[in-house]
Amino acid sequence: MTKNYNEFLPLEKDFRVANVDNITEEGRKSPSKLLKITLRKPDGVDISTDKYTATGWPSVGGDVLKTLSGKASADFVFVEDDPSSDEAAAAAGSSSGSSSSSSSTVLQEVVDFDGSGYGTAYEAFGGGQKGIEACRAIAALCESSSIDSLLSNFILPLQGHHISGKNGRIHCSLNINTETGRLSARRPNLQNQPALEKDRYKIRQAFVAAKGNSLIVADYGQASPDFFLRPSNLPRILDRYSHLPYLELRILAHLANCKSMLEAFEAGGDFHSRTAMNMYSHIHDAVERKKVLLEWHPQPGEDKPPVPLLK
């Protein structure tokens, strides 16, 4: 039902999905490309929620699903099997309660029958084995969504010859005209590749600098771009800019040789505040009369600036 209790979803709904297993539906002579499946509301299951979409329907976003599943995704531990020993796989399967497979990986299942660590779906489905299965099914849905995101946002855009230049190297398009002053990249988005802890398919290892060049990964609070820089420029750029904030803007100032930006960075202070001061006369006057500060470095015993900061 909606947040205002005035609309209800049907208790069951049909969906058409890809018939990857080539199942022949009743009444047909051959399998079709799409297969009809029917989802029904489980009997006796009542799941309450306090998160809703903008239209008032219960949210099924990632945070909600993780609350329902809890730590169910951690119930599976993958252990490398010795391919020369079938007994090892059988032993792993019997001790963990899971079946072994012919692959080199044996799935061991850590069973927690008291329900601790499972999400709210555990109690909603009556606990026990049904509660465990419900939590794991929802965890699998989260896992599937995560994999789909990696495929569509990172892996597929990096495949194909259309993204490489004449020399076979990848050169993205940088947008320097953003409202936030940050760089953004596209075709492909080289700036926003998966974080190390989320890079399950080792996508970052696919990036290799050309001979004679280095791949520099810089991670500073306000900016974390990945750049290919010529070794001849690298010492000067890093010495002049890398220990300071606004790394992206500093690199832009260096590459464009923008006099006003370089002077602003050499003068110090908050870059955006100094830019605003140069753009608006009333701000410039306020700074000159010390009614506002461009920046403030607190001394021992000081907890707030004597006058407001410009930013």
Q: What is the pLDDT of residue 100?
A: 42
Question: Whose structure tokens read 């006003």?
Answer: 260
Averages of pLDDT over each 10 residues, the chain, 311 residues: 74 92 90 92 84 87 91 54 44 45 41 69 91 92 90 87 79 79 81 85 87 74 38 44 62 83 79 82 90 84 86 74
Q: What is the pLDDT of residue 148?
A: 92
Q: What is the pLDDT of residue 68?
A: 92
CA pair distance 243, 55, nearest whole angstrom: 46
CA pair distance 308, 277, nearest whole angstrom: 14
CA pair distance 245, 249, nearest whole angstrom: 9
Strands (E), 28-125: 34-40, 76-80, 105-109
Domain parsing of the chain, residue ranges: 1-41, 51-156, 163-268
Quick check: 193 and 203 in contact, CB under 8 A? yes
Q: What is the pLDDT of residue 231?
A: 42
CA pair distance 17, 34, nearest whole angstrom: 5
Q: End-to-end alpha-carbon separation of the chain, Å?
A: 45
